[in-house]
Structure 1
Amino acid sequence: MTHADLPDLIHLADDIGNSLVLRVTELDPEGLTGEIELASPFVNGRIRTRVSPEDLAEWETVLGDLERGDNTAWREGGRAIELWLEWDDHDRLVVSTIDDDSRVTVELTIDVDESWLDDHYKRLDTLQKLQSA
């Protein structure tokens, strides 16, 4: 399967140019390889990352938390890039991307559309099915 056939695990973007994408580039039985890309009119960055099957299960929990309106974190205190996701007072998603190795944190506020959760559950389901095949 080529990279072009793989969905992004995360694809959050708004009209002003703020975005967070976890682009999947490789799929194998031990997990996914990809890159996290952050973009805004002010800052741009990317870093490679691995996503384990456990990370995928945790991402499903995070989506459930966000669906209930709860603030949450993905891969908190783990061996990889952490994401903290919080709702602001205007129903926008505030995403903090934390790389402890390089001691860098980037925070973006992203105005997500109404269908973003359904879209992300579908992305996750597709990747889980591909990984277990």
Structure 2
Amino acid sequence: MSEREPFTLVRITGKYGGSVAIELDESMAPGVPDTSGELMVHNDFVAGVHHTYVEPYDLASWEHVLDEVEAGRDAVWREHARVAEIGIRLVDREEGQDQITVTVADQQTTRVAISLEVNRGWIDEQRGLLHGIREAWKHVHPTAFR
């Protein structure tokens, strides 16, 4: 029996290594993600896992971050919030790829920034993950998506 793939809200993976991901735990309801999970950061220099949670109302602000970065502006998700924030800065945009810096900061003392070279479709991939979580939650948290 294989273990189920975790519900993934964020998975930004560099072409040459490094990644930032948020995977949510499975809830007691089959096929529905819980609001708790793990924020994972990895590159050649650092690897870290931080317990986190995501509420349904956080999804709209994550979508806004994706919109901002797609438009070429820096953006921070859950800035000064109750959990770790994720900032994305578009460093360079070349044909077919983006150079970005992803900063993850908890509300205590830890801040890490990693540079990633990603294929241009990375934002669409994030939108697809976001859509998957919304679909999984829409019957459980219907008022959160109005």
The two structures have a TM-score, normalised by structure 1, of 0.88
Unaligned runs of 5+ in 1: none
Per-residue CA distance 1:14-68 (angstroms, 9 max, x = gap):
2332110111223579962210111111111001101011211110111111111
Q: Which residue of 1 aligns with 2:122?
A: 116
Instruction: Give the aligned residue type for 1:19.
Output: S
Instruction: Give every structure 1 segment of 4 or more consecutive aligned residues whose post-TM-superposition deviation is greater than 4 Å.
Output: 27-31
1:36-115 matched pairs, under 5 angstroms: 36-89=39-92, 91-101=98-108, 103-115=109-121
C-alpha spacing 1:54/1:46, structure 2 compared with 1 (3 Å): same
Q: Is the 8 A contact 1:85 1:94 kept in 2?
A: yes
Identity of aligned residues (%): 27
Unaligned runs of 5+ in 2: 140-146
TM-score (norm 2): 0.81
Cα drift, residue 89 of structure 1:
3.4
Structure number with larger C-alpha Rg: 2
Question: CA distance change for structure 1 residues 48 and 124 in 2, over 3 Å: closer, same or farther?
Answer: same
